[in-house]
């Protein structure tokens, strides 16, 4: 990736501990970059919003609709490794309408020069945005503003990591990516994993294959640095709805959006409802198929399995509500939890970008 200042740090992962940092990301102050507002660090929420919009623009420029050999089309933008193309696999509960006018699907990233040359302008400006993170003071932000900031930072950081390292093949490499990709934010080295564990204080592992969950538990042993991050930056109130906002580039993830400090609660509620509406399936009024992400949310929100279907009914439209109700009416002596079938979580690469991300130019 980019070498130089402490803007983005990728930690070397080993089974026992996180070792020395490799630090990346410099920028030359070109006339174009000088046009950026250098005082954005004083408004961290706006800075994080611009970072997500900018990265979404990069992905749209690198987007490719056809399959090909990524190894033969390497780009100087992706210096850590090639970006491998993966086609989404649709199954029950995963067959979203990706032609919907409200989203843009990214299931393939082209590394051909004709695509990367357009993206390079946005990437150069993204470097300037990342550089300002060192001067951010998150602790002075209000709670809602912090929530929006950290959601945006998590999502932008993961997208950036894929550009730097390529799409990991295998559960352990995917897990390592979330641990080693990090930014210097206000003097603290913050990884995507640290945002989940130490800032949002999630108690449950990231959704994925069983091996990831086991390794996640091992990584959860807090180091002194993690304890420091949690004590200084950790949110005091539980934020389970954040589960519906964090994106890791997986097929089963929510739609990527930008979240604002002024309207974060309503935006999270909308994200929750849209995700449930798109992913909950009732089959023959006998079984309710629920996305695995909802299982993680229910644990974070302390909602029991028997109460979960009732909670879901309040978050979906009337048609789906009635289908779930019929399912419950047929349960006879069974518990409500016995009517639930969990859909497998697919970590295959795919982003769904809200078109709202692209309506407002990221450079404004």
Look at residue 166 in the predicted model and tell me its pLDDT: 86
Q: 88 is written with which tokens? A: 């989404």
- Residue 47 CA, distance from chain mean position: 17
Look at residue 182 in the predicted model and tell me its pLDDT: 94
The predicted model scores a pTM of: 0.80
Look at residue 75 in the predicted model and tell me its pLDDT: 35
Count CB atoms within 10 A of the CB of residue 67: 11
Distance in angstroms (rounded) separating the CA atoms of residues 263 and 52: 17
Nearest CA to 49 out of 359, 259, 254 is that of: 259
Distance in angstroms (rounded) separating the CA atoms of residues 300 and 295: 9
Helix (H, G, I), strand (E, B) or coil at 279: helix
pLDDT digits (tens, 9 = 90+) for 20-40: 333 334 444 444 444 545 677
Rounded to 5 degrees, φ, ψ at 44 are -55, -35
Residues in the chain, overall count: 364
Question: Which regions in the chain score pLDDT beneath 70?
Answer: 1-38, 64-101, 111-117, 207-228, 230-232, 285, 331, 333, 360-364
Rounded to 5 degrees, φ, ψ at 351 are -115, 140
Distance in angstroms (rounded) separating the CA atoms of residues 130 and 159: 13
pLDDT digits (tens, 9 = 90+) for 5-21: 444 554 433 333 333 33
Look at residue 220 in the predicted model and tell me its pLDDT: 54
- Residue 74 CA, distance from chain mean position: 25
What's the N-to-C CA distance of the chain in angstroms?
Answer: 26
Cβ atoms of 342 and 295 within 8 Å: the answer is yes
Cβ atoms of 149 and 45 within 8 Å: the answer is yes
Give the relative orientation of helices 171-180 and 143-165 as an angle to the nearest 10 degrees: 130
Q: 233 is written with which tokens? A: 């930056």
Look at residue 115 in the predicted model and tell me its pLDDT: 62
Look at residue 125 in the predicted model and tell me its pLDDT: 87
Ranges of H-type helices in 26-105:
31-34, 44-62
Angle at 126 between CA 121 and CA 128, to 5 degrees: 105
Look at residue 363 in the predicted model and tell me its pLDDT: 60
Distance in angstroms (rounded) separating the CA atoms of residues 80 and 333: 56
- Give 281's strand partners: 289
Look at residue 17 in the predicted model and tell me its pLDDT: 32
Residue-by-residue DSSP string for 163-220: HHH----SHHHHHHHHHHEEEEETTEEEEHHHIIIIIS---SPPSS-HHHHHHHHHHT
Cβ atoms of 161 and 168 within 8 Å: the answer is no
Residue with tokens 């609709």: 65
Whole-number Cα distances in Å, 43 to 38, 137, 141, 236: 11, 9, 9, 21
Look at residue 121 in the predicted model and tell me its pLDDT: 80
Domain assignments of the chain as residue spans, ordered by start: 3-266+347-359, 277-343
Look at residue 176 in the predicted model and tell me its pLDDT: 85
Look at residue 86 in the predicted model and tell me its pLDDT: 26
> Which stretch of DSSP H or E encloses residue 235?
none
């Amino acid at each position: 990736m980019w070498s130089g200042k402490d803007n983005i740090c990728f930690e070397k992962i080993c089974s026992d501990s996180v070792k020395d940092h490799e630090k990346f990301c410099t920028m030359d102050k070109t006339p174009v970059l000088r046009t950026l507002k250098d005082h954005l660090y004083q408004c961290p929420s706006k800075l994080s919003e611009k970072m997500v919009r900018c990265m979404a623009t990069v992905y749209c420029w690198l987007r490719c609709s056809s399959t090909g050999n990524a190894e033969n089309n390497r780009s100087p933008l992706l210096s850590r490794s090639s970006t491998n193309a993966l086609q989404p696999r649709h199954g029950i509960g995963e067959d979203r309408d990706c032609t919907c006018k409200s989203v843009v699907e990214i299931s393939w990233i082209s590394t051909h020069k004709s695509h990367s040359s357009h993206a390079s302008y946005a990437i150069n400006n993204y470097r300037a945005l990342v550089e300002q993170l060192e001067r951010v003071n998150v602790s002075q932000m209000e709670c809602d503003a912090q929530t929006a900031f950290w959601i945006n930072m998590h999502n932008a950081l993961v997208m950036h990591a894929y550009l730097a390292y390529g799409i990991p093949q295998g559960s352990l490499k995917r897990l390592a990516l979330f641990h080693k990709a990090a930014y210097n934010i206000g003097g603290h080295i913050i990884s995507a994993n640290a945002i989940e564990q130490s800032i949002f204080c999630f108690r449950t592992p990231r959704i994925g294959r069983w091996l990831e969950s086991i390794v996640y538990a091992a990584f959860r042993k807090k180091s002194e640095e993690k304890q420091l991050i949690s004590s200084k930056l950790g949110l005091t109130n539980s934020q389970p709805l954040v589960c519906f906002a964090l994106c890791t580039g997986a097929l089963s993830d929510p739609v990527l959006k930008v979240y604002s400090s002024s309207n974060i609660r309503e935006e999270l509620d909308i994200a929750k409802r849209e995700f449930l509406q798109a992913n909950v399936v009732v089959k023959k009024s006998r079984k309710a198929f629920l996305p695995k992400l909802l299982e993680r949310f229910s644990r974070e929100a302390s909602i029991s399995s028997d109460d979960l279907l009732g909670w879901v009914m309040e978050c979906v439209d009337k048609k789906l509500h009635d289908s779930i109700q019929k399912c419950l009416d047929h349960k006879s002596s069974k518990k409500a939890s016995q009517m639930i079938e969990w859909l497998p979580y697919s970590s295959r690469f795919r982003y769904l970008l809200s078109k709202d991300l692209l309506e407002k130019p990221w450079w404004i």
